C-alpha cells in the first residue's frame, strides 16, 4: 500500500465511527451510504473484469441477481442452520457462510459461462454475449417454478429491525475488504498477468500467460463480488424478484460509476459510486417527478465532460489515476 | 409429446413470425450501420423506435395524419435528429479510445428518452387505432393483418433503400469503406465524423420507419424499447454484423423462432430461446448465418 492511500483509510475510519456522532443515529445518511456501499462493491466488481481485465461485461447484473437469489433461497428454506435457526432467528443476517455461498454461486455461474464465451469471443462480441447471458438467467428464474418463486420471486423470512447500523457496517466493511483485496490482487503476480492480458493479449500469451485462465478467473472474481453485493441487498430488501434483482440498472449504474471514477484505477469505482449516487439521490429529493430524466442527463453530461474520470478535474485524491 | 399441427397453422405461424420479425430487422439494420462505423452498441435504438411511435401517435391524434403517411414526416425528422444526436452527443466520444464512453452516452440517452416519454405521455400502454387496424387479408385460409403486411413492406423498402444508398452513392460507399477499416478510409480522405454522422442519421431514420411499424401493429409503452434493442442485437448477430440484408434476414429468422417457440414451448420461454440462439451463433458462427468467415487477426 502506498503511503498516500492513508487518506482513504481515514475516510473509511471516519465512516465507521459516524454512527457514534451524537444524534447521527436517526439520520437518513445511513440508508444513503448503505446504497453507496452496494454500488461501490458492484463498481469494484465491474472494474475488475473491465477496467483491469479489459473485458467489457454487460452481464454483471446476472451475478448480482444470482447472489441475491442464493441468499433468499438459503434463508427462506433454512438450508444451512437447521434447528439453530429456531433459537437464533437472526442467524441468517449477514451470515458469512450464506454470503460466501451467494458469491460462490455467482462465481461458478460466471466460470461455466465465461469459459466458452471468453475462449470464443473477444471485445464487443464478449460484451454482446454477456448481455444475452444476463437475459437468459432472468428468464430461467422467471420459469423456475416453486424453487425461484416464478415471476413474483421469494420473500425472505425477515424479522423486524429498527436500525440500519448492521447493514451500514456490513456494507462499509465489505467495500473496504473488496477494495483491499483487489488492491493486493493487482500487485500480485496474477494482477500483473491480468493487466498484461488487457494491454496486449498476444504479447502476454507469448510470454507464457494462460490468457484464457486469467480472464475467466477475473470474470469469476467479478461475479463473486457482485454476488456478495446481491446477498447484502437481500438483507435490506427481503424480497427478491426477477424484475428487481436482474434489473439492468445493477449493471449499467456501476459501469457508469466506474467510468466516472476512472476505469482501471483502484479507488475510481468507489469515488464514482459516491459522486454519482449523490447526484441521483439529490435529483430524487429535489425533483421527485423528473429524477430519472435527471439521471439520464447526468450520465450524458458526465460522459461528455468527464470522459477520463474524476482524476481529470484534479480531484486531488490518490488512487484515481490509471497507471500505465 | 406434441402433435404436429396442421400445415395451415404452421403456415400461419410462419407468416406471423416473419412479418413481426421484419420489425426487428429494420431496427437491426440501423444498429448495424452505427456499429459498423463507430463500433458502438447503440442500446438506445429501441427507445428511439418507441419515441418515433409516440411521435406518430401524436401526429395522428392531434392532426389526423395517417400513420403510414406520417412516414414522410418521421423519416426526414429522424435523419436530422440522427445527425444532431451524433454531432451533439457522440462526436467528442467517438475519438476517445475508451468505447465505454459512447456506450454510456447511449445508455444515458435511453434513460432520458424513456423517462421523457413517461413524463410527457404517461407510463401506460398506448396504441394507434385507425379504421383499418382490425382489417385483414385472407389468402388460402391464412389470415394476415393489413398493418403487419404494411410494416413488412416498410421494412423491405427501408432495407432496400439503405442497400441502394450503400452500394450506389459515393457517400454510401464511404460509409461501407469506413466500417471495413476506419484508418484506411480516413487515409483516403474520408472524414470519420461525417461518416459516423451519416450512419447515425440513417440509423435514426430507420428507427423512425420502425416506429411507424410499431405504432400501427403493437401496443407500446415508454419502456418497451430496451427489449427491442436486445432483439435487434440478436437479429444483427444472426444475420452477421455488418451486413444490411443479413440484418433484415436475421430479424425475420428471429421472428420465426419466437413464433414457433411461443406456440410449441410456451410464451415465457421465447426470450430465453432467442438469447440462447444468440449466444450459440456468437460463439460458433460469429460471422452470422450467411456470412463468410472472417480472417483471424
- How far away is chain B from the Cα of A247, in angstroms, using its nearest Cα? 12
- How far away is chain A from the Cα of B35, in angstroms, using its nearest Cα? 10
3-state secondary structure of B243: coil
Instruction: Give B280's contacts in chain A (Cβ within 8 Å).
Output: none
Residue A313: per-residue pLDDT: 58
Phi, psi of B142 (to 5 degrees): -100, 140
* Pairwise CA distance, residues B240 & B182, whole Å: 19
Task: Tally Cβ neighbours within 10 Å of residue B129.
Answer: 11
Instruction: Give A52's contacts in chain B (Cβ within 8 Å).
Output: none
A299 vs B104: CB contact, 8 Å cut-off?
yes
Closest CB from A248, A289, A296 relative to B108: A296
ipTM score here?
0.82
Closest CB from B105, B115, B268 relative to A303: B105
A132 vs B278: CB contact, 8 Å cut-off?
yes
* Pairwise CA distance, residues A291 & A295, whole Å: 6
- How far away is chain B from the Cα of A233, in angstroms, using its nearest Cα? 23
Q: How far is CA A238 from the centre of its chain?
A: 18
A112 touches chain B (CB under 8 A): no
Cell of A135: 437475459
Q: Give the pLDDT of chain B (297 residues) as one tens digit per residue.
A: 456 677 778 888 888 888 888 889 999 999 988 888 888 888 899 999 999 999 999 999 888 888 888 889 999 999 999 999 999 888 888 877 777 788 888 888 998 898 889 888 887 888 787 777 777 777 766 777 788 888 888 999 999 999 999 889 998 888 888 888 888 888 888 888 888 999 999 999 999 999 998 888 888 888 888 888 888 988 988 888 778 888 999 999 999 999 999 888 887 888 888 888 888 888 888 777 776 655 443
A114 touches chain B (CB under 8 A): no
* Pairwise CA distance, residues A199 & A322, whole Å: 13
Q: Name the residue ranges covered by the structural domains of chain A.
A: 29-247
Closest CB from A140, A255, A293 relative to B100: A255
Sign, Cα dihedral of A238, A242, A244, A245: positive
Helix axis angle for B45-63 and B71-85, nearest 10°, is: 140
CATH architecture of B7-124+145-284: Orthogonal Bundle (1.10)
Closest CB from A56, A117, A290 relative to B100: A56
A135 touches chain B (CB under 8 A): yes
Amino acid at each position: 500500500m502506498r503511503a498516500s492511500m492513508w487518506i482513504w483509510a481515514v475516510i473509511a475510519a471516519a465512516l465507521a465511527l459516524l454512527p457514534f456522532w451524537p444524534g447521527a443515529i436517526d439520520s437518513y445518511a445511513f440508508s444513503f451510504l448503505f446504497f453507496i456501499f452496494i454500488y461501490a462493491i458492484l463498481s469494484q466488481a465491474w472494474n475488475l473484469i473491465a477496467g483491469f481485465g479489459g473485458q467489457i461485461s454487460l452481464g454483471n447484473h446476472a451475478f448480482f441477481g444470482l447472489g441475491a437469489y442464493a441468499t433468499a433461497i438459503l434463508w427462506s428454506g433454512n438450508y444451512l442452520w437447521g434447528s439453530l435457526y429456531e433459537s437464533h432467528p437472526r442467524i441468517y443476517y449477514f451470515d458469512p457462510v450464506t454470503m460466501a455461498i451467494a458469491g460462490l454461486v455467482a462465481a461458478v455461474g460466471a466460470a461455466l459461462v465465461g469459459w466458452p464465451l471468453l475462449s470464443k469471443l473477444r471485445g464487443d462480441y464478449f460484451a454482446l454475449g454477456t448481455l444475452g447471458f444476463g437475459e437468459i438467467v432472468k428468464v430461467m428464474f422467471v420459469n423456475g417454478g416453486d424453487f425461484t418463486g416464478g415471476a413474483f420471486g421469494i420473500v425472505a423470512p425477515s424479522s423486524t429491525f429498527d436500525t440500519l447500523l448492521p447493514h451500514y457496517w456490513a456494507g462499509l466493511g465489505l467495500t473496504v475488504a473488496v477494495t483491499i483485496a483487489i488492491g493486493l490482487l493487482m500487485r500480485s503476480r496474477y494482477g500483473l498477468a491480468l493487466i498484461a492480458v488487457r494491454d496486449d493479449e498476444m504479447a502476454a500469451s507469448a510470454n507464457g500467460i494462460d490468457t484464457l485462465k486469467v480472464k475467466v478467473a477475473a470474470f469469476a472474481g467479478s461475479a463473486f463480488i457482485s454476488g456478495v453485493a446481491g446477498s447484502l441487498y437481500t438483507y435490506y430488501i427481503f424480497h427478491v424478484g426477477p424484475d428487481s434483482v436482474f434489473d439492468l440498472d445493477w449493471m449499467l449504474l456501476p459501469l457508469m460509476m466506474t467510468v466516472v471514477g476512472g476505469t482501471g484505477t483502484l479507488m475510481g469505482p468507489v469515488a464514482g459510486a459516491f459522486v454519482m449516487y449523490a447526484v441521483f439521490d439529490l435529483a430524487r429529493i429535489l425533483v421527485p417527478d423528473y429524477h430519472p430524466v435527471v439521471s439520464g442527463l447526468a450520465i450524458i453530461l458526465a460522459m461528455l465532460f468527464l470522459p477520463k474520470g474524476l482524476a481529470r478535474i484534479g480531484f486531488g485524491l490518490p488512487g484515481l489515476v490509471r497507471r500505465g | 409429446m406434441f402433435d404436429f399441427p396442421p400445415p395451415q397453422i404452421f403456415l400461419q405461424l410462419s407468416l406471423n413470425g416473419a412479418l413481426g420479425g421484419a420489425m426487428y430487422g429494420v431496427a437491426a439494420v440501423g444498429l448495424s450501420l452505427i456499429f459498423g462505423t463507430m463500433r458502438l452498441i447503440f442500446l438506445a435504438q429501441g427507445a428511439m423506435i418507441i419515441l418515433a411511435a409516440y411521435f406518430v401517435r401524436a401526429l395522428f391524434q392531434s392532426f389526423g395524419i395517417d400513420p403510414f403517411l406520417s412516414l414522410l414526416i418521421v423519416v426526414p425528422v429522424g435523419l436530422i435528429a440522427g445527425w444532431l444526436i451524433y454531432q451533439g452527443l457522440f462526436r467528442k466520444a467517438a475519438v476517445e479510445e475508451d468505447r465505454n464512453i459512447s456506450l454510456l452516452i447511449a445508455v444515458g440517452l435511453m434513460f432520458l428518452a424513456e423517462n421523457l416519454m413517461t413524463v410527457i405521455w404517461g407510463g401506460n400502454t398506448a396504441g394507434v387505432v385507425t379504421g383499418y387496424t382490425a382489417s385483414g387479408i385472407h389468402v388460402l385460409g391464412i389470415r394476415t393483418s393489413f398493418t403487419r403486411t404494411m410494416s413488412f413492406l416498410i421494412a423491405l423498402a427501408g432495407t432496400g433503400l439503405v442497400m441502394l444508398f450503400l452500394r450506389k452513392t459515393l457517400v454510401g460507399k464511404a460509409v461501407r469503406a469506413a466500417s471495413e477499416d476506419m484508418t484506411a478510409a480516413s487515409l483516403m480522405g474520408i472524414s470519420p465524423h461525417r461518416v459516423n454522422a451519416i450512419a447515425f442519421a440513417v440509423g435514426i431514420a430507420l428507427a423512425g420507419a420502425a416506429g411507424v411499424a410499431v405504432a400501427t401493429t403493437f401496443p407500446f409503452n415508454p419502456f418497451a424499447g430496451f427489449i427491442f434493442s436486445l432483439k435487434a442485437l440478436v437479429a444483427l448477430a444472426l444475420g452477421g454484423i455488418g451486413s444490411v440484408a443479413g440484418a433484415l434476414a436475421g430479424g425475420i429468422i428471429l421472428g420465426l423462432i419466437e413464433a414457433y417457440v411461443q406456440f410449441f414451448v410456451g410464451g415465457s420461454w421465447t426470450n430465453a430461446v432467442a438469447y440462447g440462439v444468440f449466444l450459440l451463433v456468437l460463439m460458433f458462427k460469429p460471422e452470422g448465418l450467411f456470412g463468410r468467415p472472417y480472417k483471424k487477426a
